[in-house]
Structure 1
């Protein structure tokens, strides 16, 4: 698997260190607000980051998952199909949405709006990675692990054709793999 990686962009140690920092900030922010969030991971990419960051959130959180897919056709840009919905109602709840990467912003914007439509009191976003050069829809995460350049990255939940999610770091995929 290592032979497909051009270089390591973010090491496992850096991810753990930043997750501790983000967990502390998230805990402080929600304490100040006097609320406890339902932490919602977007499948499948967010799972490793969710597993790491939740260890560092010092609150009595609940977790849930959503699996969504987005269609980028000319007629349906931004449409989101829900493959797995939440197990409980979010009406009146504070939501912390966990994402692996903010890329174009299309799916994240739709999921955020969907949660508001379901009655969420507020929706904050924490993302391991932010790739602002690819943004098509204006949306920003409230908490960001790392801002990265516009390169094809895999590992720590991010995939190429469902592979490489289990790498313990964020690596740049060699172009020869996907070209």
Structure 2
């Protein structure tokens, strides 16, 4: 069928599970105090869930919050403006916060969230992303913990989407057209 879309696997379920275990060990080594995990919705929901369970397995007892930010509308290119669609309910004052997101690309969303949490009095804000595209940064921010460095393709699966499709995939891949 000409023009059909397929998803090519970049990181399979096993690789993701192993990386989550390693990330949890790295995060525990940072000795967070009164840890609050703030997952950035929607894309990080699968990663955050797996990472939080991995953090438990290494002896951490994080509290969990969600913030829903958007810089994408329905397309594949960031609009550049970050909006808060749902804010966290817990105080971050004098706490260590682990900001968890699916991908660090332009950096706008994570920089906005990190600045917001710092302004609210967080003791330390650490950033953890499943994927990083280092060549795409539009603002100055880096992740403290990174699952994988991603090639410069539009990724889907493991919570990440294109126009709300492909979030359910248990692996990370990218959409290709037949013939690509």
3-state SS, counterpart of residue 107 of structure 1: helix
In 2, Cα distance between equivalents of 1:55 and 1:120: 23
3-state SS, counterpart of residue 168 of structure 2: coil
Report if the CA contact (8 A) 2:104-2:143 is conserved.
Answer: yes
Q: What's the CA shift for 1:6?
A: 4.1
Change (3 A) 1:79 1:117: farther
3-state SS, counterpart of residue 89 of structure 1: coil
Report if the CA contact (8 A) 2:67-2:86 is conserved.
Answer: yes
- The aligned counterpart of 1:41 is 39
In 1, Cα distance between equivalents of 2:110 and 2:61: 25
Change (3 A) 1:91 1:36: closer
Task: Give unmatched runs, 5+ long, in structure 1.
Answer: none
- The aligned counterpart of 2:90 is 88
Structure with a larger share of its residues in helix: 1
User: How many aligned positions are there?
Assistant: 167
Report if the CA contact (8 A) 1:80-1:111 is conserved.
Answer: no
Change (3 A) 1:71 1:55: closer
In 1, Cα distance between equivalents of 2:99 and 2:112: 12
In 2, Cα distance between equivalents of 1:60 and 1:37: 7
Task: Give unmatched runs, 5+ long, in structure 2.
Answer: 74-78
> In angstroms, what is the RMSD of aligned CA positions?
1.8
Query: In the TM superposition, what whole-angstrom CA distance separates every residue of 1:4-28 from its partner, at most 9, and x where no partner exists?
Result: 3341001110000000001111112
1:48-87 equivalence runs, <5 A: 48-57=46-55, 58-70=59-71, 79-87=81-89
Of the two structures, which has the highest relative contact order with CA contacts closer than 8 Å and spacing of 6 or more?
2
Q: What's the CA shift for 1:71?
A: 7.3
TM-score (norm 1): 0.87
3-state SS, counterpart of residue 174 of structure 1: strand
TM-score (norm 2): 0.87
- The aligned counterpart of 1:152 is 154
In 2, Cα distance between equivalents of 1:49 and 1:78: 24
